């Protein structure tokens, strides 16, 4: 009768009224106990016990049936509590609950220094004994700094480049290829620079602190570094806000906010990059936070309590900020480039939910001479198995066996899917189908789905709760679905066998790998032993990575995945899009911000839904400004949601034109799509060339030209595209001109050929049919780019 859920559903941002808050209190936190009691309750209280001392804390009624008890600020220790409520003459008592407030342990100084050929081991004194801190050098310009708690003797892990160490009475100097460190023996402050230079790039510390409980288990590991008043910090993955991360506390946690994401994101990456040419990466899958509200960046890693733990950080320095991105991708995986056809225009709409509608859209784009190289079909499957076309009839397969194409009798909405795919291929249009990594909650309407679920449960192919029971999604999207465990090779093999006919027999070209964000529960268990805290961020890469491998094998390297969620190393799998957004000017701006932010972490082949996919259709102006930007974006795609409106809301250019009675939506989109095809080879070559350098296609001009950082940062929506282009999207409603901050050197207007001296602001015309684009004057590709722009579509096709 009393409902109290200390951890709720473990949603990282939304607290249930029946939770404990904070869920895991730390010293200094004010603790609250929320619960629900029967409506007849007249009084309620919490009985709190610590060190055999007991006290009662009166609860206050918050809303009907819900109560809240304020326990106040509690010192370190273990606490037990129960809830008691008075119902007329009766008393109801809950089960017993407990939590612990740990104690902070701090590094206090240097105890010992051991020098090895490939690194340095420092034994540090703490308020409770000693710990080890190792410094090694995996790449030129990179230092790996790892604090080990509860475990010593890790010198065997020191691999990489050799280093030289000089001892002084007050300082320790360490030099390796591309980086020099100085450590103050007394304060343990550490500075970093490039060898031979006096300028200090980075100021940090070897000091840190962590939380320890009565059992000696460690969690909440924290360290910090200084922030200069004249610097900006970029990155932390795909973020839909202004570029500078200073002034806020940021969570690094995969999460689906669904539109208006702001600080939350599908693709967080714990990498910060400074315009002062250094970067810091936390090499951990667990959720973390970067507090940038003060003069220091405080980094906290939220690990599950364990007797042995570590805090691994990488410090980067370079000649330019994007040297850090290049080193980061060398450490976390090369940027994967999809086939050339992926760089053409894409078309998609969730209302194309039948073969007739999908073919009609393809036929229309061909008739209107609007180029397309990719068709994405989301609403194709039965929404239960996610591998069978809607309305198909077939005999049931027991024991998890896979179907082949000739097992199906197609009818209804998809009478002959192979004919549709063949039709697309005849016109050089590739086909992607939609996927999610779950077994949907049983709806008792699909017998094959019931068989599949039973088999997956029997074989242990799904993520489990701590007690071994199957985890069911607690999020709002596909609630109560089972989540496939991609750490289990047998589970993956079983899963993909069911989808193999889509490639082998039907000939599809890739999969849109949606979702992956809905793992909540710190004690979840995966087949490989990982717990929930380790899976929250890692799962999207496990899921997308498994699909990527499957698609590459099934297409002999000529397919791709198109994904929403990811984490550190997401650049290993092409490609990504920025999730779901409204059709508004603000969402358009935020999408550009997200793509540039993601690029700092090496995510290169990225896109978004032109002018947003949700709500009423965009205006012609917003649609065309977005299409112009998407023309110079790694992925150019329009897409729209499934809706219940009577009017057609798909984002095809002909529908926008017809709905607004404005033919410019079609004619100018056609021009942008045809321009995209002219530049297809160039974009693909640029992606390949930059990938070889470890760099993304889209980049901040302010980071490419750090000497002009403050000037270039004044234009937050302009970006470099490829090695040659500066793109300045028009993002203001009603604008007829665009003020462009040109980087240093000379730049050439792509459309007119006019040359401009750089490092100044120029005002250029910006009619709806044109997006301001400039080419580096010294580019060896300048003349060919100007020639491609003047070439007609028919000449290009020839």
DSSP classification of residue 619: P
The answer to whether residues 520 and 10 touch, using CB atoms and an 8 Å cutoff, is: yes
SS3 for 18?
coil
CA 352, CA 706: separation in Å to the nearest integer?
46
Q: How far is CA 190 from CA 127, 134, 171, 172, 630, in A?
A: 21, 13, 10, 9, 44
Please confirm, yes or no, whether 323 is among the known catalytic residues. Answer: no
Which tokens go with 280? 């810091």
The answer to whether residues 88 and 112 touch, using CB atoms and an 8 Å cutoff, is: no
The answer to whether residues 377 and 432 touch, using CB atoms and an 8 Å cutoff, is: yes
The answer to whether residues 334 and 555 touch, using CB atoms and an 8 Å cutoff, is: no
Which residue among the candidates 19, 100, 514, 534 is catalytic per the annotation?
514
Q: If you search the block for the tokens 């940027």, which residue do you land on? A: 335
CA 448, CA 398: separation in Å to the nearest integer?
8
Length of the chain: 798
Other Cβ atoms closer than 10 A to 664:
18
Phi (first) and psi of residue 577, to 5 degrees: -130, 160
String of DSSP letters for 265-314: BSS---EEEETTSEEEEE--SS-EEEE-SSSEEEEEE-PPPBSSEEEEEE
In sequence order, which ranges of 88-232 are alpha helices (DSSP H)? none
CA 126, CA 207: separation in Å to the nearest integer?
9
The answer to whether residues 190 and 204 touch, using CB atoms and an 8 Å cutoff, is: yes
Burial zone of 783 (CB within 10 Å; 0-12 exposed, 13-18 middle, 19+ buried)? exposed
Strand (E) or helix (H) holding 535: helix 532-535
Which residue among the candidates 146, 285, 517, 671 is catalytic per the annotation?
517
The answer to whether residues 75 and 27 touch, using CB atoms and an 8 Å cutoff, is: yes
Q: If you search the block for the tokens 């001009």, which residue do you land on? A: 701
CA 453, CA 484: separation in Å to the nearest integer?
10
Please confirm, yes or no, whether 580 is among the known catalytic residues. Answer: yes
Spacing of C-alpha 339 from chain mean position = 22
User: Side-chain half-sphere of 792: how many Cα atoms within 13 Å?
Assistant: 3
Please confirm, yes or no, whether 514 is among the known catalytic residues. Answer: yes
* Radius of gyration of the chain measured on its C-alpha atoms: 28
Q: If you search the block for the tokens 């972490």, which residue do you land on? A: 601
DSSP classification of residue 732: S
SS3 for 215?
coil
String of DSSP letters for 364-381: HHHHTT---SEEEE-TTB
Which tokens go with 652? 């095809």
Spacing of C-alpha 566 from chain mean position = 4
Which tokens go with 28? 């200094």
User: Side-chain half-sphere of 55: how many Cα atoms within 13 Å?
Assistant: 11
Which residue among the candidates 146, 323, 509, 580 is catalytic per the annotation?
580
Q: How far is CA 677 from CA 85, 201, 345, 624, 672, in A?
A: 70, 43, 8, 17, 9
CA 180, CA 193: separation in Å to the nearest integer?
5
The answer to whether residues 650 and 349 touch, using CB atoms and an 8 Å cutoff, is: yes
Which tokens go with 429? 């249009």
First to last CA, the chain: 76
Burial zone of 283 (CB within 10 Å; 0-12 exposed, 13-18 middle, 19+ buried)? middle
Q: How far is CA 475 from CA 287, 471, 550, 583, 782, in A?
A: 18, 12, 27, 25, 50
Which are the catalytic amino acids?
514, 517, 580
């Amino acid at each position: 009768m009393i409902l109290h859920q200390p951890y709720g559903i473990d949603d990282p941002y939304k607290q249930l009224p029946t939770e404990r808050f904070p869920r895991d209190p730390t010293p200094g936190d004010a603790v609250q106990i929320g619960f629900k009691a029967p409506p007849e309750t007249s009084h309620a209280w919490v009985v709190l016990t610590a060190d055999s001392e007991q006290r009662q804390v009166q609860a206050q009624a918050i809303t009907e049936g819900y109560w809240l008890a304020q326990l106040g600020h509690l010192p370190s220790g273990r606490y037990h509590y129960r809830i008691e409520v008075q119902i007329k003459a009766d008393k109801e008592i809950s089960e017993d609950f407990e939590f612990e407030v740990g104690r902070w342990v701090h590094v206090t100084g240097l105890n010992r220094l051991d020098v090895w050929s490939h690194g340095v081991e420092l034994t540090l004194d703490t308020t409770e004994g000693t710990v080890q801190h190792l410094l090694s050098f995996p790449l030129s310009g990179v230092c790996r700094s790892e604090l080990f708690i509860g475990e010593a003797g890790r010198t065997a892990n020191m691999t990489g480049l050799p280093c030289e160490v000089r001892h002084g009475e007050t300082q320790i100097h360490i030099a390796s290829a591309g980086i020099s460190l100085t450590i103050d023996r007394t304060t343990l402050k550490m500075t970093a620079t490039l060898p031979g230079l006096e300028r200090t790039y980075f100021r940090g510390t070897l000091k840190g602190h962590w939380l320890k409980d009565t059992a000696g288990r460690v969690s909440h590991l924290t360290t910090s570094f200084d922030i200069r008043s004249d610097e900006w910090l970029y990155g932390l993955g795909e973020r839909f806000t202004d570029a500078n991360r200073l002034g806020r506390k940021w969570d690094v946690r995969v999460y689906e906010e669904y539109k208006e994401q702001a600080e939350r994101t599908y693709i967080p990456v714990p990498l910060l990059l400074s315009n002062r040419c250094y970067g810091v990466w936390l090499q951990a899958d667990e959720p973390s936070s970067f507090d940038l509200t003060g003069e220091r960046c405080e980094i906290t890693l939220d690990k599950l309590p364990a007797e042995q733990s570590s805090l691994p950080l990488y410090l980067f320095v370079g000649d330019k900020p994007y040297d850090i991105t290049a080193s980061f991708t060398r450490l976390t995986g090369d940027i994967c480039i999809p086939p050339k056809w992926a760089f053409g225009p894409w078309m998609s709409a969730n209302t194309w939910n039948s073969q007739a509608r999908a073919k009609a859209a393809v036929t229309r784009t061909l008739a209107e001479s609007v180029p397309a190289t990719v068709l994405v079909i989301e609403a194709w499957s039965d929404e239960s198995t996610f591998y069978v076309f809607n309305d198909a009839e077939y005999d049931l397969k027991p024991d998890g066996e896979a179907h082949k194409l000739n097992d199906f009798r197609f009818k209804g909405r998809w009478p002959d899917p192979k004919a549709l795919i063949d039709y697309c291929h005849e016109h050089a249009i590739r086909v992607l189908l939609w996927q999610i990594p779950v077994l949907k909650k049983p709806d008792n309407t699909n017998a094959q789905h019931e068989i599949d679920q039973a088999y997956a449960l029997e074989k242990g192919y799904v993520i489990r709760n701590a007690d071994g029971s199957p985890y069911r999604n607690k999020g709002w999207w596909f609630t109560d679905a089972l989540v496939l465990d991609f750490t289990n090779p047998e589970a993956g093999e079983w899963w993909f066998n069911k989808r193999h006919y889509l490639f082998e027999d039907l000939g599809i070209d890739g999969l849109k790998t949606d979702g992956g964000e809905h793992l909540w529960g710190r004690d979840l268990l995966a087949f490989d032993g990982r717990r929930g805290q380790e899976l929250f961020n890692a799962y999207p890469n496990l899921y997308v990575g498994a699909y990527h491998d499957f698609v590459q094998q099934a297409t002999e390297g000529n397919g791709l995945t198109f994904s929403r969620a990811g984490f550190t190393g997401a650049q290993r799998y092409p490609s990504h899009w920025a999730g779901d957004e409204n059709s508004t000017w603000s969402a358009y701006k935020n999408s550009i911000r997200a793509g540039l932010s993601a690029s700092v972490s090496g995510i290169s082949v990225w896109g978004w839904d032109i002018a947003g996919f949700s709500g009423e259709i965009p205006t012609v102006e917003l649609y065309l400004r977005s299409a112009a930007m998407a023309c110079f974006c790694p992925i150019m795609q329009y897409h729209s949601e499934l809706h219940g409106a009577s009017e057609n809301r798909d984002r095809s250019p002909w529908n926008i034109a017809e709905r607004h009675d404005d033919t410019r939506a079609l004619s100018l989109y056609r021009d942008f799509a045809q321009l995209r095809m002219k530049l297809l080879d160039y974009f693909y070559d640029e992606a390949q060339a930059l990938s070889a350098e470890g760099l993304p296609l889209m980049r901040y001009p302010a980071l490419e030209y750090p000497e002009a950082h403050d000037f270039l940062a004044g234009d937050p929506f302009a970006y470099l595209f490829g090695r040659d282009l500066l793109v300045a999207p028009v993002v203001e409603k009603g604008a007829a001109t665009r003020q462009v901050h040109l980087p240093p050197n000379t730049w050439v207007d792509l459309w007119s050929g006019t040359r401009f001296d750089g490092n100044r602001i120029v005002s250029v015309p910006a009619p709806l049919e044109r997006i301001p684009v400039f080419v580096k004057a010294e580019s060896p590709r300048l003349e060919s780019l100007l020639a491609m722009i003047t070439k007609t579509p028919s000449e290009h096709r020839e």
